[in-house]
Amino acid sequence: MLITNTVLLDQYDTEGLFDEMFEGDGAVRSHYQIMRERLDTISKEELDQKIRNLETLFLKQGITFTVYGDQQGTERVFPFDPIPRIIPADEWQIIEDGLVQRITALNLFLYDIYHEQKILKDRIIPEDVILSAAHYRPEFKDVDVPRDIYIHICGTDLIRDRDGSYLVLEDNGRCPSGVSYVLENRMAMKRVFPHLFTSAGVRSVDSYAADLLGTLQYIAPHAKPDPVCVLLTPGHYNSAYFEHSFLARQMGIEIVEGKDLIVVGAHVYMRTTRGLQQVDVIYRRLDDDFLDPKVFRPDSMLGVPGLVSAVRAGNVALANAIGTGVADDKVTYAYVEKMIKYYLDQDPILKQVPTYLAWDEKDRGYILDHLPELVVKAANESGGYGMLIGPRASKEEIETFRGLITANPRNYIAQPVVYFSRHPTLTDGTVEGRHIDLRPFVLSGERTHILPGGLTRVALKKGSIVVNSSQGGGSKDTWVLHPS
Amino acid sequence: MLSRVADNLYWMARFMERAENLARLLQASNELLLDGETTGSRSLNDYWDPVLVATAMEEEFARIYPQGTVADVGYFMTLHEDNPYAITMCLRQARENARTVRDQISDEMWTELNDLYLFITSAKALTEFQNAPQTVYDRIIAGSLLFHGITDATLARTEGWQFIQLGKHLERADKTSRFLDIRVHSAQTGNALDSFQWTSILRSASAIGTYRAEVGGDPTAEGVIDLLMFSTDFPRSVRYCVRKIGTHLHAISGTPTGSYSNSAERIAGRLLAQLNFGSSAEVIERGLQEYTDDLQQVLNTLGQHIFETYVLLPQDQLSVTFIPSADTEKRRWIELQQQQQQQ
């Protein structure tokens, strides 16, 4: 990657969009001042060398992911941009408060939905929306979970609107991934810009593994002290396998596949060289559908026959619980602000992107009339798949989606296109603005712990607003500053 | 530790050892070729056929290379991706096993194994192989030895380490015995190999120096068999390896040596007794070929019993949990299921 400008940011153009580093008039925001000064003094050769070292480091360590459907199917290094995204303490405080509020409401919602369903009876949310949700698990109604917590690990995606306000784009309450990149990016940055850390006052991310382990231990059945926790992975062909292995190692717990576990007498055991060892808590990175061939997909080769019976018997705890998908359904998303009001009697601290629901007749009419201006999403897809970006789409793609929406309106939502904030990013010899989002990781155990910062994902293609790794995204280190 | 993990570590070690030993064999065969006085193609085949026969790949080779030459055999056994016993494929298997239990091995072990694999699959290795194959074999052998050294220096002596040593020594015992009998296949006159061939066998096992120091003179059948089959202190001898197998099995089960707590320990113990009190005269009288065949059978059975003792459990439903590696379609389906999208 060649850098040709000696003073990297001289030619930078915000193009009228909200920029993380620069104000509208081109002045550097105060919390980026120190970064600007460092970048102005760095030579092209020095930066080239640092980037080469980083790439080699990532490749050697195997910090990779695989893109499904890619012809080579090979492991790739997750592209990393060395210019960090910086968030001042006061901004972060708002985000943190907003996220705590949100996850509290979501957990209360899930408890309610799987018990009395008061929010439906009070008609705050139409019953049909919830009961028809693809990931609502009626088999789990009236089944208790330890400590009444459903989502233990949540990745909530945030973007910044043109005026700089943070908006929630979506919650990921089933198998959110990406935290390993946060931790590895931080280690890499310490090598690239060692001196900046002390002078800038960046909050550490080192406690994540300990907090995560604490969360898992907190939900052990019968509050068992010193519970046996394991991480259940689909296997090493999964794109996030590196993360599964990484987190298991950091926490000092076993990483298991379905075939390593066996259920006997409604208890879960690991097959070890010394015989069977009981398991109390499972951090499962496996979708509900594959968990137990006796209850969900019978053809699943990844699950544990009888696991659900052990969960119902209260002998094993799952993080996240079964059935959380109803809360991160993109249609349910439209009602989260109402949940906050209903369960907490508060106004939402973090706003959402205005959302039209295709199952509602009026909204549907609007959507179908304005497809070229909207972003259309399928209710339960992830990875940037199943999406239409109106202004970028061809006539055929638009017509395809028209058909899909008409055939299955419950499954689609639409939002106005938000050209969310951009950040200076190294690209082919220069520094240009690229759209970024933010995924903080929220742990709900005895307390709610939020990792300072989170994963900042960058849409590396010029003008693109799709940041997912599977669609050509990259990442940056995220610095949350200590209060000055 | 998890049974599956023990199995993965065991096989990681076995495939690594397999790759190293094949490199040794091919390197020694190359040198023998250069030393040999006959250049007619029939005699050239005599050097290479046994290698193919030993890995049961003569048919596959004939299918891919109907007019196969000596150079083709070398390539076939070193780099060809259709040969499951080629060095490349052994290293790939070693790496795959390591990758699935990455958290159980040290970072340095992973890096070395990964580097070795990246080398063998690189264009550079192909070019080097075409120009000077010995350098490629040197690199593989050195890489394997380095891997063992790193393991020795960085891995705590846990159960995982024991399984690695177990796999390594089992494979080594088997391969040393094959070094011995491979040339016998080619000899038109039964056991009467010439000293060139015995030297080549010693060279495969890095045993020339030891032979000269402890035995001396031109290598003979008795001398080589005594060293490679019955030596108590040469690390590649079959007896030494089998003794190590016993040590590691007992360390895993916690049983004192001299008794046994499972079938694997019993078989290993009995084999060790046979080797402790055997001799080259006995082997020659029996016939080297027959003796090593029997030995390889026992080692095979031993491997099976290790699997049954530590990996397979009585409650297992084989069809769901343990998929034989030959069942490619089932494996492909599992692969697809694993590739579910994370959020």
Mean pLDDT of A234-258: 90
State pTM to two decimals.
Answer: 0.80
Say what the pLDDT of residue B320 is. Answer: 39
What's the CA gap between B329 and A404, in Å, rounded? 33
Smallest CA–CA separation between B310 and chain A, in Å? Answer: 5
Mean pLDDT of A10-24: 86
Mean pLDDT of A254-277: 93
What's the CA gap between A167 and A178, in Å, rounded? 20
> Both tokens of residue B271?
């084999």
- The residues in A 292-321 lying below 8 A from B, measured between CB atoms, are 300-302, 305
Write the pLDDT tens digit of every residue in A395-408: 999 999 999 999 99
A290·B337 Cβ contact <8 A: yes
Assess whether pLDDT exceeds 50 at residue A452: yes
Say what the pLDDT of residue A69 is. Answer: 52
Query: Could you tell me the pLDDT band of residue A440, with boundaries at 50, 70 and 90?
Result: very high
A256·B2 Cβ contact <8 A: yes
Helix (H) or strand (E) holding B297: helix B288-310
Query: Could you tell me the pLDDT band of residue A334, with boundaries at 50, 70 and 90?
Result: very high
Say what the pLDDT of residue A382 is. Answer: 67
What's the CA gap between A64 and A42, in Å, rounded? 28
A144 phi and psi angles, rounded to 5 deg? -85, 150
**Nearest CB to A237 within list B1, B313, B339:** B339
Assess whether pLDDT exceeds 50 at residue A29: yes
Write the pLDDT tens digit of every residue in A356-390: 999 889 999 999 999 999 999 998 776 667 789 88
Distances in Å between the alpha carbon of A317 and those of A220, A283, A288, B81?
Answer: 6, 9, 14, 45
Closest CA to B103 of B160, B60, B54: B160
Closest CA to A167 of A363, A339, A337: A337
Say what the pLDDT of residue B51 is. Answer: 78
Write the pLDDT tens digit of every residue in B175-209: 999 888 876 655 444 445 678 788 888 988 999 99
What proportion of chain B, given as a percentage, has pLDDT over 70? 86
Say what the pLDDT of residue B326 is. Answer: 47
A vs B: CB pairs below 8 A: 102
- The residues in A 382-411 lying below 8 A from B, measured between CB atoms, are 382-383, 385
Mean pLDDT of A461-471: 78
Say what the pLDDT of residue A54 is. Answer: 81
Which tops the pLDDT comparison, A313 or B42? A313
Say what the pLDDT of residue B193 is. Answer: 67
Helices within B82-189 (DSSP H only): 87-100, 107-120, 123-131, 133-154, 159-186
Question: CA of A236: which chain B residue's CA is closest?
Answer: B100
Say what the pLDDT of residue B335 is. Answer: 75
Question: CA of A171: which chain B residue's CA is closest?
Answer: B343
Burial of A163 per CB tally in 10 Å (0-12, 13-18, 19+): exposed
Say what the pLDDT of residue A374 is. Answer: 93
Among A271, A294, A380, A455, the strongest candidate for a mutation testing the B interface, having the largest count of B CBs within 10 A, is A271
Lowest mean pLDDT among A151-155, B187-191, B227-231: B187-191
Please indicate if any CB of chain A lies within 8 Å of the CB of B343.
yes
| Residues B159 and B249: beta-carbon distance below 8 Å | no
Within 13 Å of residue A360, how many CA atoms lie on the same side as its CB?
A: 14
What proportion of chain A, given as a percentage, has pLDDT over 90? 65
**Nearest CB to B1 within list A245, A264, A273:** A273
Distances in Å between the alpha carbon of A90 and those of A288, A351, A443, A482?
Answer: 38, 17, 21, 9
- Complex ipTM over 0.85: no
Distances in Å between the alpha carbon of A5 and those of A39, A83, A85?
Answer: 11, 16, 21
| Residues B138 and B213: beta-carbon distance below 8 Å | no
Assess whether pLDDT exceeds 90 at residue A41: no
Write the pLDDT tens digit of every residue in A107-131: 999 999 999 999 999 999 999 889 9
Please indicate if any CB of chain B lies within 8 Å of the CB of A148.
no
What's the CA gap between A126 and A104, in Å, rounded? 21
Mean pLDDT of A253-274: 93
Lowest mean pLDDT among A111-125, A243-257, B31-45: B31-45
